[in-house]
Structure 1
């Protein structure tokens, strides 16, 4: 078990593959600072 073992996390990092032991990063919604809504005018 080591760098050559494709079933381990270290082996997957070396091979550049993904799986149960090394899941891909969850990509959330991409947000920027300019994506905010402007506040509406004064309340009556």
Structure 2
């Protein structure tokens, strides 16, 4: 059940983005930012392991 609920929330978010059509570029930027954050988290983890 939690998986289904998650899907519903994603759909709602997409609808909200559709309403803000001129903000497509902004959405792309946020996506890039998210990916960057993931990368930094991974690197941080690696750094901590090296320190030990």
Taking structure 1 as the reference length, the TM-score comes to: 0.24
If each structure's helix is expressed as a fraction of its own residues, which one has the higher value? 2
Higher relative contact order (CA 8 A, sep 6+): 1
